[in-house]
């Protein structure tokens, strides 16, 4: 809970989450339970003392030194997911937790390449996630979408092959968009042009991690070379006024993840993030959790951290949440419902 008296208001806001890797919501408790059930051998404590227990693993998570240091644990963690029911349990646990934080709509990333490389069928992954989505809609009234990510540390040709496999599900809307994640520096967006421009031609939504560890030039490239409609993290716009203005003019949404940026040492403190600058310049952004099981907080913890750092007004939060709703990849009808929820919260809070 934040230190602020606004906590109740922040909790009540109808949030849209746009930047959450579903595999990054794998809590250590479920990780160890699935490893035991599926007989997956994790690194032994002599190889890596972090795997001694839930508490040592959580303690190690608090000492990430970089994106790659985190990704090492992220990919080991997801290796315990084997059956459709494992994927369903993972996603349902996230939706339940997100509901408690006041999430109305969630667009979640997933990484098929990390599963098919271990011999898990693409269909296993999709069937587990879609089952959880249906239950979450029924149980919590949370609407959700899937965004498939190309892993940029792997050859672009492999990402393209995975994207091609997803096209039928993208055509039916089972998958709502294409994303780009994993090691940013040295893997610029332009390497993935073929997949992204094909996705644009077919009318699929597109986003890419850009401006997390790398600079604003990756954000400009994501916009100009692979024609994204969002940039994930995107904390580097202040490095170039003209790129920032382009993001404002083209209404390109930035999906920020404050606690992730601190945990992965992109900034020392949430105060250093350009939240105030983006609000003043009219850059649209949402606030998200990225990999909540690894970064010590879900979406409301991220809202609270921003409030503690920037002391925003209710009016400013209304703008953030309105932009999050409008920048979502859901139907106009769902947006209208969420705007009504937002207006109700605003009315009750004055
Ligand atoms: N950045 C890049 N790739 C990722 C991240 C991230 O924060 N989380 C999971 N994959
Ligand atoms: Zn991310």
Tell whether the model's pLDDT for residue 5 goes beyond 90.
no
The structure tokens listed for 29 are: 């408790």
pLDDT (tens digit per residue) in 25-49: 999 999 999 999 999 999 999 999 9
Asked if the model's pLDDT at residue 242 lies above 80, the reply is yes
Picking from 29, 109, 114, the residue whose alpha carbon sits closest to that of residue 290 is 109
Long-range Cβ contact pairs of 208-211 (< 8 A, separation 24 or more): 208/179, 208/180, 208/232, 209/152, 209/179, 209/180, 209/181, 209/182, 209/184, 209/233, 210/184, 210/234, 211/235, 211/236, 211/237
Please state, rounded to an integer, the average pLDDT across all residues of the chain: 97
- The residue-averaged pLDDT of 2-7 equals 79
pLDDT of 1 above 70: no
Note the pLDDT of residue 83.
98
**What's the whole-number mean pLDDT along residues 175-182?**
98
Q: Is the separation of the CB atoms in 39 and 80 below 8 Å?
A: no
CATH class of the 4-349 domain in this structure: alpha beta
Our mutation pick for probing the ligand 1 site, out of 22, 67, 152, counting the most ligand atoms within 8 A of Cβ, is 67
Check whether 2 has a pLDDT greater than 80: no
pLDDT at 85: 98
- pLDDT confidence tier of residue 252, bands split at 50, 70 and 90: very high
The answer to whether the CB of 176 is under 6 A from ligand 1 is no
Residue 27: active-site member: no
pLDDT tens column, 260-311: 999 999 999 999 999 999 999 999 999 999 999 999 999 999 999 999 999 9
The domains of the chain are located at 4-349
Q: Most distant CA pair in the chain: distance in Å?
A: 57
Three-state SS at 313: coil
Model confidence pLDDT, tens digit, residues 123-163: 999 999 999 999 999 999 999 999 999 999 999 999 999 99
pLDDT band at residue 251 under the 50/70/90 scheme: very high
283: nearest Cα among 199, 189, 206, 216: 216
- Report the pLDDT value the prediction gives residue 24, as an integer from 0 to 100: 98
Helix (H, G, I), strand (E, B) or coil at 147: strand
Q: CB of 269 within 8 A of CB of 306?
A: no
Is the predicted pLDDT of residue 183 greater than 80, yes or no? yes
pLDDT at 339: 98
User: Which of 184, 212, 213, 221 is flagged as catalytic?
Assistant: 212
pLDDT at 350: 78
Which of 23, 24, 187, 219 to mutate for ligand 1's pocket (most ligand atoms within 8 Å of CB)?
24
Residue 203 is predicted with a pLDDT of: 98
Question: How many angstroms separate the alpha carbon of residue 323 from the centre of ligand 2?
Answer: 19
Average pLDDT (106-125) is: 98
């Amino acid at each position: 809970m934040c230190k602020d008296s606004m906590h109740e208001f922040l909790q009540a806001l109808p949030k849209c989450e746009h930047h959450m890797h579903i595999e990054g919501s794998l809590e250590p408790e479920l990780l160890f339970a699935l490893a035991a059930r599926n007989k997956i051998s994790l690194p032994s404590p002599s190889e890596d003392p972090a795997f001694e227990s839930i508490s040592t693993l959580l303690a190690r998570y608090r000492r990430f030194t970089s994106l790659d240091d985190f990704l090492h644990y992220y990919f080991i963690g997801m290796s315990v997911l084997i059956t459709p029911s494992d994927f369903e349990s993972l996603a349902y646990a996230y939706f339940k937790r997100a509901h408690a934080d006041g999430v109305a709509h969630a667009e979640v990333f997933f990484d098929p390449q990390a599963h098919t490389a271990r011999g898990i069928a693409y269909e296993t992954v999709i069937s587990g996630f879609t089952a959880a989505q249906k239950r979450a809609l029924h149980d919590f009234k949370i609407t959700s979408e899937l965004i498939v990510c190309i892993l940029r540390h792997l050859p672009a040709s492999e990402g393209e092959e995975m994207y091609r496999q997803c096209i039928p599900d993208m055509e039916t809307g089972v998958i709502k968009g294409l994303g780009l994640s994993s090691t940013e520096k040295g893997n610029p967006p332009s390497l993935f042009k073929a997949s992204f421009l094909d996705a644009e031609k077919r009318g699929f939504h597109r986003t890419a991690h850009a401006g997390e560890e790398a600079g604003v030039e990756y954000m400009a490239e994501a916009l100009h070379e692979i024609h994204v409609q969002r940039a994930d993290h995107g904390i580097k716009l202040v490095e170039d006024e003209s790129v920032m203005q382009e993001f404002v003019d083209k209404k390109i949404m930035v999906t920020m993840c404050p606690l992730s940026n601190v945990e992965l040492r992109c900034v020392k403190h949430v105060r250093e993030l350009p939240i105030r600058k983006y609000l003043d310049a009219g850059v649209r952004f949402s606030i998200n959790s990225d990999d909540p099981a690894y970064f010590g907080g879900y979406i409301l913890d991220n809202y609270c951290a921003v409030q503690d750092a920037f002391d925003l007004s209710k009016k400013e939060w209304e703008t953030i949440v309105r932009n999050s709703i409008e920048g979502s990849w859901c139907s106009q009808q769902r947006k209208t419902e969420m705007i009504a929820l937002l207006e109700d919260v605003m009315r009750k809070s004055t």
